[in-house]
Amino acid sequence: MKKKALIFGVTGQDGSYLSRLLLKKGYIVHGVKRRSSQPNTFRIDDIYSDPLIKKNNFYLHYGDVTDSTAVFSVIKKVVPDEIYNLAAQSHVAVSFDMPEYTTNTDATGALRILEAIVRIDKKIKFYQAGSSEMFGKVVESPQNEKTPFYPRSPYGVSKVYAHWITVNYRESYKLFASNGILFNHESPLRGETFVTKKIVKGLFNIKIKKQKKLFLGNLYAKRDWGHAEDYVQAMWKILQYKNPEDFVICTGRQYSIKQFINLVAKSLKIQIRWKGKGIDEKAFDKDGNCIIECKKKYLRPAEVDTLKGDCSKAKKLLNWKPKHDIKSLIKDMLEYEYKSNIQ
Ligand code: NAP
Ligand code: GDD
């Protein structure tokens, strides 16, 4: 019998990569999408039109993790072997503007799914999409599964709740419920307001003269960036492990936003000169045009200055390691911009 997976957050970056991975592995995949006034399925539309994927292996259901009835109904209807909870208001800066909604979705959303599992079938395995944002103002570096959390945003705090409620339901009801603590991961399908996509798309458009300037915030935060394609493999491996446990998933390398910009500019053969300090720091091209400027509106009330993970546990127990590095990530993201612009 084919395994059945249910993905909350199927229309997002990770949802689309995970759907493809599970379909390739022979799963029947069910996804939960939100109702929106415009189509929101652009990341998974190609799955329908792929002749290699039989239509009856991929199903979409309307739902929202803020709606207990909808969550319960879809789980009861599908009764999957595995549930991946990727649904979230995933933008850290936006979580300061919408703290209550973020909590309802990112914290209580996980609880709603766990409660439904307990009531419907305790054998359903559960994956919670945890985040390195939970480490926030880091108390040690690099961060591993034992590093204490110190979240710095309503998003981070909500994810800490989701993490502990997952642990609690595992211990209380003996569920197979695991947390992935994933560091930043990007791809051509990354949302356009996250910094890597903003930089890749912005500099590409500047190169082809479609855009004059890119506006950013803090250039000195450091992140451990991986590729979503590698990280969805880890999600699947976490649920195939013999025990339900929590795993840090990362590359172990960190770069600042400024270093990321310099790498993308180099790939695009844009010569950049930096001038000024702090919020007045700007980047100029070889003709003296200012192409990058910083704006206060992109600074956050509290920042996560540095993240760098240690995934020794996942390497040892899951035999997982990333295939991509920062250069192949940037290459992949730039190729997508190139293809999108010549079509
Ligand atoms: P994403 O692209 O923003 O996708 C989020 C998904 O959640 C979308 O499908 C979105 O639907 C859905 N969603 C939002 N609110 C919902 C609600 N109330 N009910 C049901 N679905 C809802 O995020 P991602 O990068 O794929 O990340 C996937 C998960 O991993 C998220 O939980 C995120 O917090 C977590 N995470 C991400 C990273 C990373 O670096 N990417 C790192 C650590 C953890 P719409 O398409 O309709 O908006
Ligand atoms: N978004 C954004 N836009 N960030 C900027 C900008 C800008 O114009 N300029 C500088 N930054 C800085 C942010 O202040 C932050 O320090 C860093 O770039 C990364 O920001 P994001 O790309 O928005 O990602 P994030 O690290 O806040 O959150 C992402 O990774 C988390 C895992 O650590 C999201 O995917 C979260 O959902 C995820 O949990």
Amino acid at 64: D
Residues whose beta carbon lies within 6 Å of some atom of ligand 2: 90, 92-93, 131-133, 183-184, 193-195, 198, 216-218, 221, 223, 257, 298, 300, 303-304, 307
Given the structure tokens 């539309």, which residue do they identify?
Answer: 45
**Residue in the structure block whose two tokens are 């642990």:** 167
CA distances from 317 to 137, 187, 235, 248, 277 (A): 28, 26, 13, 12, 45
Query: Does 134 have pLDDT greater than 70?
Result: yes
**b/e map 95-129, b = 16+ CB within 10 Å:** beeebeebbbbbbbbbbbbbbbbeebeeebbbbbb
Cβ 220 vs Cβ 226: under 8 Å: no
Q: Look at residue 54 in the predicted model and tell me its pLDDT.
A: 66
d(CA 253, CA 240): 27
Q: Whose CA is nearest to atom 37 of ligand 2?
A: 90
Contact 198, 192 (CB under 8 A): yes
Protein residue closest via CA to atom 43 of ligand 1: 131
pLDDT the model gives residue 71: 98
pTM: 0.98
Any atom of ligand 1 within 6 Å of the Cβ of 64: yes
The residues near 280 (Cβ < 8 Å, ≥ 6 apart) are 294
- Residue 76 contacts residue 120 (beta carbons within 8 Å): yes
Q: Where are the alpha helices (DSSP H) in 25-139?
A: 45-49, 68-78, 92-97, 99-106, 108-120
Q: Is 132 exposed, middle or buried (0-12, 13-18, 19+ CB in 10 A)?
A: buried
Q: Is the distance from the beta carbon of residue 18 to the nearest atom of ligand 1 less than 6 Å?
A: no
Q: How many CB atoms lie within 10 A of CB 22?
A: 23
Mutate to test the pocket of ligand 1, among 6, 7, 10, 14 (most ligand atoms within 8 A of CB): 14
Under the banding of pLDDT at 50, 70 and 90, the label for residue 55 is: low
Structure confidence at residue 48 (pLDDT): 75
The pLDDT value given to residue 56: 73
Look at residue 292 and give its three-state secondary structure.
Answer: strand
Q: Which percentage of the chain shows pLDDT scores above 90?
A: 96
Closest ligand 1 atom to the C-alpha of 15? 26
For residue 325, CA distances in Å to 212, 227, 313 come to: 29, 8, 19
Longest CA pairwise span in the chain (Å): 65
Ligand nearest to the CA of 194: 2
Tell me, in angstroms, the distance from the centre of ligand 1 to residue 34's CA: 11
SS3 37: coil
pLDDT of the residue at 342: 80
All structural domains of the chain, each given as residue ranges with its CATH number in brackets, are 4-188+225-253+305-324 (3.40.50.720)
Does residue 281 contact residue 294 with C-beta atoms inside 8 Å?
yes
For 129, half-sphere exposure in the C-beta direction (CA atoms, 13 angstrom radius) is 26
Best of 86, 103, 143, 163 to mutate for ligand 1, by most ligand atoms within 8 A of CB? 86
Which atom of ligand 2 is closest in space to residue 196's alpha carbon? 22
- Distance between Cα 220 and ligand 1 center (Å): 25
Over the chain, what is the mean pLDDT? 97
- pLDDT at 49 (0 to 100): 74
> Which residue has its alpha carbon closest to ligand 2 atom 3?
195
- pLDDT-derived band at 101 (thresholds 50, 70, 90) equals very high
* pLDDT tens digits for range 151-199: 999 999 999 999 999 999 999 999 999 999 999 999 999 999 999 999 9
